[in-house]
Structures are given as structure tokens and as C-alpha cells.
Amino acid sequence: MRSLPKSLLEWRTAPTAIFLIAMLIVAGGIGIILQNEVTFRSARDRQAMVAAEVLAGSVTAAVDFDDPVAAKEAVDAFQVNPQVRYVAVFDGGGSMLAAFDRSGKRSRLSLAQLPAPPPTNYRVAVPVVSAGERVGTAVYEVEREAVARRLTRYVILGALAVLAALVIVTLGLAQAALHRANRELSERAEALSQANELLAEQIAGRAKAEEQLRQSQKMQALGQLTGGIAHDFNNLLTVIQGSADILTRDELADDRRKRFAKAIVQAADNAAVLTSQLLAFARRQPLKPEVVDLSQLVAGMTDLLDRTMGERIKIETSLERSTPPVTVDRNQLQSAILNIASNARDAMPDGGTLTIRVSEIRSEAGERMATISVSDTGAGMDADTASRIFEPFFTTKKTGKGTGLGLSQVYGFATQSGGEVFVDSEPGEGTTVTLLLPCSEPGMAVARQAEEPALPEQPRAEILVVEDNEDVGQFAETLLTELGHSVTLATSGEEALELTRDHDFDVVFSDVVMPGMGGLRLAERLAEEKPDLPVVLATGYSQEIAQSGSGGRPVILKPYRLATLSQALADAISGRS
């Protein structure tokens, strides 16, 4: 708005100035024409007067001495000028002495008889003076320049002036138009930059809104996660607590006591699976990678899958035996395949075909990758569902039928193993889940599947248990004492270090995560002070171990089973001896 009055002013004043200049030019042209006309007239009059006076002077003697021949000679001299129409000399009495008339009609008339000149002609009469005395009259008549010719000249002049004015007007208007166009352009540029600023603001606003949305989604996911965990654990805790309550009764029959104890063990197992899957999704599961041949693994799982899938689902495998081995956690991979397969089964309630393929591809970077894909012929799913299936606790199944953690374990396992997982599905077209895993370094031998360890014969040993959690510590002490070992309990790394200086232990069993000196630090210090003293680490979850490993020391995972613990300690002690 602020530039509007200025632009209006320019628009109004510029053409006014131009027209003023143009009018000045035209007025100048008219002035020149008028001046020209006046000059022309006066010059013509003067010329006629001079000619008449020249005639009068030259015929003085002829008039004096009444000599028509001499007078005629003088008169005829003017004939050469074609504009001269009539020249005559009269004596003092007005009688014609000599005359020339181009029309021939007036050449004999006396001064008194001479008619007025026609309007196209201009006449001058000059006295012939001799010795101060008027002796006669000289008459000189010329044709005015033809009006048409003069007009033509003036029209040309006028046209030139008008042309100049037109040029000025055109140039001026063009200039004004250019100014206007420039102004409009700059206004548009300004509007554009304003629009741009607005757009930038909107983008920033949208980014903020998206950030808020993401945050709220995160909170929602977190809520779902914690809710899911609480729900599942509450179920398990109900079983454990109920069973434990019954076990505390004195008058319980031995077989019932065993049944409730087994129920507790079962619930704890389930809880362990739950937490391990959670950790797998969080990619913080301590992995035990080993070189695995995918074809062998899948072939070895077909019996298990047959049982899991039921009779109505046919299982087909397509295994490229040449597929290179991969380095992954075997148990986690098996879990992942089972998780995918169980989802496939639930997608095919009326039966169908489950196809497992193992093949090799090359990534875009030229890296060899092994793929294992699991396809079903079930209901499939829409894109929205497909984008959420890896979220923990996301499930489309009825309450109690699924935890919502199966596929999130698959996702966590794949990414933690350096691979990827893809889902390809259309509603009604079935679903294919593909795991993409990096191949092992060449030359790595495929490990044989380890046997589940049996509870070994235990020699009595001096064991230092380091555990900051009093309950867990006492539990471990109880367990190990039950196995016939001598147990000393320390509640911190510092205390444990102190104890090892005073007493010789066969093995140190330490928790990893503790306030102050952690298990890893303690193990390092012990390696310096007592390099022969073996250390076994235990952890439920440790970022440090998941990232950098335990430095070659055995690690057992919480919750640990009695057999696992005693085997690990026995291995450590026998390793020393």
C-alpha cells in the first residue's frame, strides 16, 4: 500500500510531462511556420520594393526624355523572373511609357486605367524621381508564391514537428510503460518473497507439528510397551505368587508341591522369554554369534515347524545349498523364523502353504548377503498394518493370543545382526517376510549345535559372589551352597577386591551392573592382581557387554538356570586348573 500513491503520481505526471513537451514541439513548429510566413511576406515585399525602386531609378532618364524604347528595355529586363507578372513605367501625366504584362492584357493601359492587382499578385508603385521632382511612376507586380506550394512547405514542416512530438510521446509512453512494468515486477518479487517467507513459516510450523506428533507417538508406543509388559508380567507374577503362596503351606503333599514348583519354573521361563524378546527388539540382547549355514538350519527346523503349523498347512522349502553361511546367534535366528512362521500360521486359519526360501544375493555395494524369506498364502495386510508390524506389542490378534512381541524380536535380531528385514504384503495376496543377513568371513567353520548341558558333577569350590542386589545375592548363595560350594558374598566391586586379597577363591561370580566398580572393571582389576583367578560375569542386560563384549570372560544371562550357572562355574574352575 505504501508504494501506491507514489506509483499513481508517477503514472499521472509522466504522460503529462510528455504531452507538454510534445505540445511545445508542435507549438514551436507552428511558431516557426508563422515566423517563416511573416519573414517570407516582408522579404517578398522588400524584394518587390527594391525591384520597383531599381526600375524607377533606371528609367529616370527615359522618363525625363520621354524615351519608351529605353524604358521598355528597362522593363523587359524583369521578364526573366517568372514570378514577375507586370512591370510598367508611367510618365508624370500617368501615360504609359513602357509596360510588360505576362498575361498581355494590361500592357497598353495608363496608370489611371490600371485595375487592382489580382489577389494572387502583389503590386508596388514607386515614383520616378528626377532632381527631386516626381516625373513618373514605376509599377512592379509579382506573383505571390503559390499558396498550395507554401502550404505544402508548411505542412511538411508541421508534419515534421508532429512527427517529432509523436516520437517524444511514443518514447515517453514506452519509458513510462517500462517504469510501470519494472514497478509491477518488483511488487511481484516482493509478494513472492513474502509468500516464500510465509511458506517457510508454514514449513517450520509443520516440522514442529510433526515433531510433536512423533513425540506423542513415541509416548504412545512407550505407554503401549510398558502397558504390555505390565500385563504380561502381571499374568506370570500371578502364577508365581499363587504357586509360592501354596508352597508355603506345611501340610502340602509332595507331588502337589512339585507341581506348583514346576508352575513357578514355567512362569519364570515365560517371563525370561518375554524379557529376552524385549531386549532383542531393543537390540540390546547379548548375542552369541556363530557361523550358521541357513539351509542346514531351516532343514533342521522342518519337523518343529510341521508340529507348530498343524496339519492344514503344507510346508515347502527352497534351499540353495551354495548360500554362504552367516554369523548370527543361532537361537535368536530360530526364534525369528518361528515367530514369522507362527504369524503366517495365524494368517492362514483355513490352511495354506508356508514357503521358506534360502538364497544368496548381492547388495548394491557388491556385498554378499544371504536371504531367508518366509511366505504364506494367507489374508495379507494393508500398507498401514505392514508399516506397524515390527512395533512391540502391536498385534491384530485377539487378547491373549499374541504378545505383539514376536515380529519385534525379528526386527531387533535382524538389525542387531547387521542385516535387514522386509515385509511384502497385499490384502488377499499373502505375506512374505524376508531376512537379509550379511555373510560370514570366508573360512569360518560352521559350528556344531551345542548340546544342552547336563548338570555336571561338582567338586567343592570356594566361590566369591559379587551382587549388589541383596535378594539375588542371597538366592545365588543359596543355590551354590545347595550345590555343595562354599560361598562368600560381596555387595560391591570394591568389597570383592578387598576380600580376594585376604582369601583365596577358586572363582569369582560377579554381576556386571553395580554402583561404583562394575563387574567388568572388577574383572580387569582382578586380572592384574590375581591373573589366575577366573571370573564369571552375569547380566540381565548390559549395554557395555552388548557393545564391546566381556573381554573373553564367560557371561551368563539372567535369569539363569541352575544347570547353566554350575556348568559355567565348573568350566571356569577347570579352565584354571
Partner 1 sequence: MRHRLPLLLCLIAAFLLLPAAAPGAISDTAVKAAFLPRFARYVTWPASAHSSGPIVICVIGDDPFGRMLNEAAASQQVDGRSFVVKRLTSASAASDCAIAFVDGGRTEEILAALGRQPILTVTDARSSGQRGVIHFTVVGGRVRFFIDNAQAQARGLTISSRLLALAIGVNQK
Binding site for partner 1 (CB under 8 A): 58, 60-62, 64-68, 70, 130-133
Query: Which of 67/360 has CB closer to partner 1?
Result: 67
C-alpha cell at 192: 513472492
State the minimum distance, in angstroms, from the CB of residue 90 to partner 1. Answer: 17
**Amino acid letter for position 370:** A
The answer to whether 317 and 294 are in contact (CB under 8 A) is no
Helix, strand, or coil here: 130?
Answer: strand
**CA angle, residues 516, 517, 522, in degrees to nearest 5:** 170
Q: How far is the CB of 131 from partner 1 (least distance, A)?
A: 5
C-alpha cell at 161: 514537428
- b/e code 533-543 from CB counts within 10 Å (16+ = b): bbbbbbbbbbe
Please report how close the Cβ of residue 160 comes to partner 1 at its closest, in angstroms: 50
Residue closer to partner 1 (CB basis): 66 or 482: 66
Strand partners, 510: 466, 537
Q: Which is nearer to partner 1, 52 or 410 (CB)?
A: 52
Instruction: For partner 1, give the closer residue by CB, 58 or 500.
Output: 58
Toward partner 1, which CB reaches closer, 93 or 428? 93
- Pair 275, 412: CB distance under 8 Å: no
Q: Identify the three-state secondary structure at position 354.
A: strand
Choose between 63 and 348: whose C-beta lies nearer to partner 1.
63
Instruction: Give the C-alpha separation, 49 to 63, whole Å.
Output: 19
C-alpha cell at 96: 504609359
Angle at 385 between CA 379 and CA 390, to 5 degrees: 110
Block residue for cell numbers 503333599 = 253
| Contact criterion met (CB below 8 Å) for 536 and 553 | yes
Closest CB 167 distance from partner 1, rounded Å: 59
Residue 162 Cβ vs partner 1, minimum distance, rounded to whole Å: 55
CB of 64 to partner 1, least distance (A): 5
Residue number with CB closer to partner 1 (104 or 132): 132
Q: Which is nearer to partner 1, 89 or 341 (CB)?
A: 89
Shortest distance, position 127 Cβ to partner 1, whole Å: 16
Which residue's CB is nearer to partner 1, number 57 or number 540?
Answer: 57
Q: What are the backbone angles phi and psi of residue 442, rounded to the nearest 5°? A: -60, 150
* Nearest distance, CB of residue 92 and partner 1, angstroms: 11
**Exposed e or buried b per residue across 36-61, where buried means at least 16 C-beta atoms within 10 angstroms of its C-beta:** eeeeeeeeeeebbeebbbbbbebbbe
Q: Which is nearer to partner 1, 96 or 236 (CB)?
A: 96
Query: Residues 466-472: contacts with CB within 8 Å, 24+ apart?
Result: 466/490, 466/491, 466/492, 466/493, 466/495, 466/496, 466/508, 466/509, 466/510, 466/511, 466/514, 466/519, 466/522, 467/491, 467/510, 467/511, 467/514, 468/492, 468/511, 468/514, 468/515, 469/511, 472/511, 472/558
* Beta carbon nearer to partner 1, 130 or 425: 130
Residue 146: CB minimum distance to partner 1, A? 36
Toward partner 1, which CB reaches closer, 95 or 220?
Answer: 95
Rounded least distance, CB 132 to partner 1, Å: 7
Instruction: Return phi, psi of residue 82, to 5°.
Output: -65, -20
Evaluate the CA torsion angle 336, 338, 340, 343 in order and state its sign: negative
Nearer to partner 1, 5 or 93 (CB): 93
CA distance 517 to 64: 158
Instruction: Read off the C-alpha cell for 157.
Output: 514542416
| Whether the Cβ atoms of residue 162 and residue 26 lie closer than 8 Å to each other | yes
Distance, CA of 18 to CA of 25 (rounded, Å): 11
Least distance (Å) from partner 1 to the CB of residue 68? 8
422's grid cell? 522386509
